[in-house]
Structure 1
Amino acid sequence: MSEVLTALVHASEKSANIARACKQEEALFQLLVQEKKSIEKNKRFVCDFKTLADVLIQEVIKHDLGKKFPGLEDHIFGEESNEFTNSLGEKIKVEVCATEEGTAELLSKVLNGNMTAAELLASIVHCGVSIEDPALEKVAAEIPQDTMALWVDPIDSTFQYIKGYANEKTKDGVYSKGLQCVTILIGVYDRSSGLPIMGVINQPFVTRDPHSLRWSGRYFWGLSYNDINICSLQNDVNAASPAAEDLCEEGSRQKEEMQDGDNDLSAVISTNESDAIKSALSAVRLYYAAGAGYKSLCAVQGFVSVYLLSEDTTFKWDCCAPHAILKSMGGGMVDFRECLKRKSKGNVDELPELIYNTPVNGATGVDRWANKGGLVAYRCRKHLDIIMNLFSDVNP
């Protein structure tokens, strides 16, 4: 059912339109921000926020996919609850109504009676999206709908979305912060095995027109199912799936890595990583960036060899989509600490891939879906092995 992948791309583009619209008017945007309650918070941040854009995007994805594939909406999970509280203290359940007028009326309650803003958002919610993607149109895969479930992160790197740095510069293609670090993540996994099947990463804020100050974005998709491995970064969607070693040769900064060992390997990490992790990675080029989705995207694009996180501060919704894309390219996403344990025992053949259908035993709230062992996202197995060898003295 490759039609699902097409629907994911369309949903991600509509979501990006909502994110851009919510951000365009600063006065409007200030109405949209609400601090998350303790049970919803990411413990890594003192303040963690959700926005109406987060909640609305998640509900739009559920609505649009459920309308096209009835029953699938019951298997779409995400970070956000759909309850929002306005300035009067009224709790409002955000949802897509049957009509544009109904959605506008509901959103106006969240927006303290701002009907103009509500009507603008409702028009985007109920408007179709047109996409020209010849590679996507050629994808053919039969995947039973009753095997699929989804993880959605409607706006990853909400802090960057709220702060809205627009003029950041890249270092070798990597943004350390800014709106470019904001992503929309939609991933599909197999309900039985928990392994990722397909994913879309949408980057709503890539370039800004200097005259209109309006943003445009881009998206990346991938599908990995049985023997089918296809992604938007392949030149020919009908070609045989490239091996990981071949994908590692893409890009001028990647070409010499196989011959030079770790001399040209690179990693992107969080500034909050421990000194032990930073010290172990001192032998490679090191970058710092915001957003789990964006750091994974840096690995997808080949700007870095790996994205590594040693802490348990990412969740299934952060990883399912990029994991699927990396898997379609011959790479993957593994449990960092489990990798260290297996390596210490000499078991390096079977990788502990992240899975998405099993909650953490005994955990509550969002921690039920945390990646407790951290993670390493990679495009090339050889690069993963070299990077992990740098941690021989690190206690898992």
Structure 2
Amino acid sequence: MAQSAPLLLRVVASSVTVAGRAGKIIRDVMTGGELNIVNKGKNDPQTEADRSAQRCIVASLSRQFPNVAIIGEEGPSNCEVPSDWVVTDSDQQVLGVRLPQDLEEVEDKDLCIWVDPLDGTSEYAQGLVEHVTVLIGVAVREKAVGGIIHQPYYKNPEDGSLGRTLWGIDGVATGGLQLIPPPEGKRIITTTRSHSDGTVQSALDALEADEILKVGGAGHKVMLLLEGKAHAYVFASAGCKRWDTCAPEAILRAFGGTLTDIHGECYSYNAETSHPNTRGVLATAPGQQHAWYLKKIPDEIKQRLA
């Protein structure tokens, strides 16, 4: 079934399974206690879990899709990995999805896979593991279309096992999560836990939130929107990158939400684009008025992020 499915479905289906394997690697590194932290920059640590999870993801996907561009946060990866890190299985639910014709005809050259192997590294290193996600985004030309978010430390209520994966293909289908709307009559905003500054705070002040949730990781913040715990994710800063937002944007859109820069424009995710999200991030939960948030953010803040 896998080989007869359209390319986009095969990439998303494979990414669902490999994200789960990367999540196990992340847990194993933490259990082993050897994080081997190096600092890439201010408030930008990298651990052995980041490096190993990316090697697992890139090795698995590049062997199956050698002509598809893959861009990972941790730079070029050595694809010589232990054999049990190479995942070739595919998620059968994804493979059973029916695509519209334009997505059925997508070719290798049209795709770019954006990988954040461990989103929320600062929190992971501090033991705040509930903030951690694995992000694999699939762009078709310039648009974020397919997304996978894996939560390595999500505890399943049925059996207590760890790990949950949700996926979405914009305009087509979603899986792994039952959408919960945020509470009515109040405004809860989620934002950065470790990369705040005066501009970020000024944007939050302008939105007059009833509650602000400061958490790590773009994936975690978008999860809060889908789980009904926040109405919007606001980050008026150039601090995050394309691999932080490709998967969350695709999934959020697939569920009916919106993610743009703070000017209301979508980021480009083709392989040639620059990596920094220089114009900030504004995401709103399904059913929320994205335009209201755009209008409330002061022009002077938008000009700083022009």
TM tier relative to shorter chain: 0.7 to 0.9
Distance (Å, rounded) in 2 between the aligned partners of 1:298 and 1:230 = 20
Q: 1:207 and 1:324 mapped to 2: Cα distance?
A: 24
Query: Does structure 1 residue 34 correspond to structure 2 residue 32?
Result: no
CA contact (8 A) 1:305 1:383 kept: no
Cα RMSD after superposing both structures? 2.8
Residue number in structure 1 paired with 2:278: 372
**Higher Cα Rg, which structure:** 1
- Partner of residue 118, structure 2: 155
Q: For residues 158-195 of structure 1, give each alpha carbon's deviation from its aligned partner in whole angstroms, at most 9, with x where no partner exists.
A: 1111221xxxxxxxxxxxxx10101110001123xx11
Superposition deviation, residue 395 in structure 1: 4.1
| Mapping of residues 377-392 of structure 1, within 5 Å | 377-380=283-286, 382-392=288-298
In structure 2, what is the equivalent of residue 285 of structure 1? 211
Name the CA distance, whole Å, in 2 between partners of 1:384 and 1:392: 15
Check conservation: 1:13, 1:129, Cα contact below 8 A.
no
Partner of 1:230: 173
Give the direction of change, closer, same or farther, for the CA distance of 1:127–1:12 in structure 2 (3 Å limit): closer
Matches for 1:1-396 after TM superposition, within 5 Å: 1=6, 2-26=9-33, 29-30=34-35, 32-36=36-40, 41=41, 43=42, 45=43, 48-72=44-68, 75-82=69-76, 95-97=78-80, 103=81, 122=82, 124-126=84-86, 135-141=93-99, 142=104, 143-164=106-127, 178-191=128-141, 194-207=142-155, 216-224=162-170, 228-232=171-175, 250-251=180-181, 253-254=182-183, 256=184, 263-271=185-193, 272-274=196-198, 275-336=201-262, 338-339=263-264, 352-357=265-270, 368-380=274-286, 382-392=288-298, 395-396=301-302
CA shift, 1:327, in A, is 1.4
Does the aligned pair in 2 maintain the 1:276–1:394 contact within 8 Å? no
Aligned-residue offset at 1:13:
0.8
Q: Tell me how far 1:77 sits from its aligned partner.
A: 0.4
The size of the alignment, in residue pairs, is 284
Give the direction of change, closer, same or farther, for the CA distance of 1:60–1:24 in structure 2 (3 Å limit): same
Q: Does the Cα contact within 8 Å between 1:332 and 1:353 map onto a contact in 2?
A: no
Shift in Å at residue 303 of structure 1?
Answer: 1.9
Deviations 1:111-140 (A, max 9, x none): xxxxxxxxxxx3641466686x6x434313
Q: Does the residue aligned with 1:369 lie in a helix, a strand or coil?
A: coil
Q: Secondary structure at the match of 2:244?
A: helix
* Partner-residue secondary structure (3-state), 2:277: coil
Q: If the length of structure 2 is used for normalisation, what is the TM-score?
A: 0.82
CA contact (8 A) 2:148 2:168 kept: yes
Q: Which runs of 5+ in 2 are unaligned?
A: 1-5
Aligned-residue identity in percent: 26
Aligned counterparts of 1:359 and 1:329: Cα–Cα separation in 2: 28
